[in-house]
Amino acid sequence: MGPVGSRTLPDVLDGIALFSNVTDLDFGLLTESLIERRFAKGTVIVEEGLPGDYMYFIREGRVKVTMASGDGRERIASLLEAGDFFGDTALIDLRPRSASATALEATTVLAISRSTFLRLLRGSAQLSLEIIRNLVGRLRHADDKATALCFLGVKDRTTRAIEELVRSSGESGASAWSPPVTHQQLADLVGSSRETVTRALQELKRDGAVHQHGKRYRRIFSG
């Protein structure tokens, strides 16, 4: 796929939170530089350990971000939805990709090159601030997960993972559901085995703490 083309930039960037509060961004440069790419389900968009020259904004679809353990097992770091972005870290620190990103379904992204991205950061204090906020948010999330692994059991970690998935979907309220997620994906997010997470889900459903519909879940809050 080529540049964004004749569509207006607000339409192209609709739903991408990173740009929602940026007022001094060089929209002309973005229009010329954004490249639309489409990936089939299961396609690896970026690969851990390889150089990274582009970052990506998700227009449509879902992406899982994973890291490989020392014994070759895959750990899911996050599940991303439309409006999220990934691949920025390698553009900033000039090191190889720290994780892989794979399309969970047919996915459309907007790609921007390192040179354009850094040029935009230099010219837009607001965009730089939004990137910093995102990086800090990811760091806090990583700290929370590390703390949970040390102090919480699998049931509590599974509940937290479901709550995070619901928030990532953009839905809110007591009736909000998570995006589709398999037991194995939940296990990777929780840091446990699929069998252990399956047992935890069965207990949570039996206790009335979680409801399941197909591969979607929602947290039930008592009182």
Closest Cα partner for 182 from 160, 204, 215? 215
Which CATH homologous superfamily contains domain 9-146? Jelly Rolls (2.60.120.10)
Q: Delimit the domains of the chain by residue range.
A: 9-146, 153-219
Q: Give the Cα separation of 66 and 56 in Å (integer).
A: 16
* pLDDT at residue 6 in the model: 47
Domain 153-219 is found in CATH 3.10.129.10: no
- Asked if the model's pLDDT at residue 78 lies above 80, the reply is yes
**What proportion of the chain, given as a percentage, has pLDDT over 70?**
83
For the ranges 48-62, 124-138, 171-185, the one whose mean pLDDT is highest: 48-62
pLDDT at res. 163: 87
CB within 8 Å of 14: residues ≥ 6 apart: none
The band of 12, judged by pLDDT with boundaries at 50, 70 and 90, is low
Residue listed under structure tokens 């990137």: 131
Global confidence as pTM: 0.75
CA distance 31 to 164: 33
